[in-house]
């Protein structure tokens, strides 16, 4: 197979942590050819989607982990599979990229995850499709609504709808003298919609990342434990990742959400679960594969390449 990865700059990839690298490594070991593109390499020209790619060869060395082939023009339909693995934020450039990729689908490209699904499944808002599993949640940019929500729950988390890695996330408790400035900052003075959720004390046990491949959850998740003095478990915010087997509740949530994602064309997703509550559904570039593999031997990258092989057979 020829597999194309749409990525952030190759030099920015940490091969010890990055899930895209884990998938490239697994694919390469099976004899598949790996190609890399950046978002700006995809263009619409004379009614067709063109893409400038370069074949990459894994060296097994760090930091010089790849060698790069000649940059060649072509079409995304020429690949057996195209993986959209550009990291958030989901900004207008990302939105435009999904539109170009959707046009490429019409030309025959097989894209994972499907571009329309990437647009439609906002990683924060999509939990509203599964209210039976979510904590009490408010989505608004009105200060009065956010204050009422805080008055009712007394301890809440406010986060942007387009963030990643815990960036821009605030915990606010009743009588916090900084409540006003936090709301102003989060909503940019009432011009940006945010999500507020009731604070879940079980965060001290970890913000669990459950990886779902083809609608099926991996048997292990990564519980991201906040560092001392933090309420965010994200690894990018200093959290410690501890792999653990899925609980009965984890399996219940993944069993309900996974088949819906697969039907929509989301073949790789990361469900975030705190305690017994689903808090996010990550679809753009979910990670944690390598941490789970290192600690348990469970190879989610293998699951993903197995899926690509079956879908593209």
Measured distance CA(137)–CA(195) in Å, rounded: 7
| H or E, element range at 104 | helix 92-106
248 near 210, Cβ under 8 Å?
A: no
Q: Known catalytic residue: 50? A: no
Taking the model in full, what pTM does it have? Answer: 0.95
Exposed/middle/buried for residue 295 (C-beta within 10 Å: 0-12, 13-18, 19+) = middle
311 near 305, Cβ under 8 Å?
A: no
Residue ranges of the chain whose pLDDT lies below 50: none
Show me where the domains of the chain are located. 2-120, 125-129+202-311, 136-199
Q: Known catalytic residue: 232? A: yes
pLDDT in tens, 18-32: 999 999 999 999 999
Give CA 8 to chain center in angstroms: 14
235 near 167, Cβ under 8 Å?
A: no
Q: Known catalytic residue: 119? A: no
Per-residue pLDDT, 165: 78
Q: Known catalytic residue: 159? A: yes
Task: Give me the catalytic one of 86, 110, 124, 302.
Answer: 124
Residue 162 to residues 28, 170, 206, Cα–Cα distance (Å): 33, 14, 22
Closest alpha carbon to 267 in 16, 23, 11, 2: 23
Q: Known catalytic residue: 272? A: yes
Per-residue pLDDT, 150: 98
Measured distance CA(169)–CA(158) in Å, rounded: 6
Q: How many CA atoms lie within 13 A of 140 on its CB side?
A: 14
pLDDT in tens, 78-105: 999 999 999 988 899 999 999 999 999 9
The domain defined by 125-129+202-311 carries CATH number 3.40.225.10: no
Task: Give me the catalytic one of 26, 209, 291, 302.
Answer: 209
Task: Give me the catalytic one of 224, 234, 250, 302.
Answer: 224
Task: Give me the catalytic one of 123, 282, 291, 302.
Answer: 282
Contacts with 158 (C-beta within 8 Å, 6 or more apart), sequence order:
146, 169, 170, 172, 182, 183, 186, 194, 195, 196
Residue 36: φ, ψ to 5°: -120, 140
Task: Give me the catalytic one of 232, 234, 264, 291.
Answer: 232
Task: Give me the catalytic one of 198, 280, 291, 302.
Answer: 280
CATH of domain 136-199: 3.30.1490.20
Per-residue pLDDT, 166: 80
Reduced to 3 states, what is the DSSP secondary structure of residue 70?
A: strand
Q: Residue 241 forms beta bridges with which residues?
A: 224
Per-residue pLDDT, 41: 97
Within 10 A of 239 (CB to CB), how many other CB atoms are there? 22
Closest alpha carbon to 272 in 252, 256, 292, 250: 250
| Architecture in CATH for domain 2-120 | 3-Layer(aba) Sandwich (3.40)
DSSP result, 217-282: E-SEEEEEEPPTT-S---GGGT-EEEEEEPPHHHHHHHHHHHHHHHHHT--EEEEEEETTEEEEEE
Torsion, CA 199, CA 205, CA 206, CA 209, rounded to 10:
-110
């Amino acid at each position: 197979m020829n597999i194309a990865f749409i990525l952030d700059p190759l030099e920015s990839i940490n091969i010890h942590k990055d899930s895209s690298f884990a998938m490239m490594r697994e694919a390469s070991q099976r004899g598949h050819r790996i190609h890399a593109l950046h978002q700006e390499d995809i263009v619409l020209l004379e009614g067709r989607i063109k893409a400038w790619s370069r074949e990459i060869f894994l060296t097994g060395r760090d930091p010089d982990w790849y060698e790069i082939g000649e940059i060649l023009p072509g079409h995304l339909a020429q690949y057996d599979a195209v993986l959209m693995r550009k990291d958030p934020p989901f900004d207008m450039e990302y939105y435009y990229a999904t539109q170009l990729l959707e046009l490429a689908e019409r030309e025959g490209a097989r894209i994972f995850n499907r571009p329309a699904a990437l647009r439609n499944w906002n990683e924060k808002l999509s939990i509203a499709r599964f209210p039976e599993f979510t904590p009490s949640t408010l989505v608004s940019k009105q200060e009065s609504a956010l204050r009422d929500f805080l008055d009712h729950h007394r301890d809440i988390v406010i986060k942007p709808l387009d963030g990643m890695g815990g960036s821009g996330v605030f915990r606010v408790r009743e009588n916090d003298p900084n409540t006003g400035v936090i709301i102003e900052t989060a909503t940019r003075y009432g011009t940006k919609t945010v999500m507020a959720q009731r604070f879940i004390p079980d965060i001290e046990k970890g913000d669990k990342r459950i990886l779902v491949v083809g609608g099926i959850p991996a048997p292990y998740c990564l519980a991201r434990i906040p560092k001392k003095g933090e309420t965010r478990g994200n690894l990018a915010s200093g959290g410690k990742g501890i792999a653990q087997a899925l609980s009965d509740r984890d399996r219940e949530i993944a069993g309900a959400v996974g088949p819906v994602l697969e039907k929509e064309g989301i073949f790789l997703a990361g469900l975030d679960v705190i305690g017994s509550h689903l808090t996010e559904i990550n679809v753009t570039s979910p990670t944690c594969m390598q941490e789970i593999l290192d600690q348990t031997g469970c190879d989610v990258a293998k699951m993903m390449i197995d899926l690509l092989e079956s879908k593209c057979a």
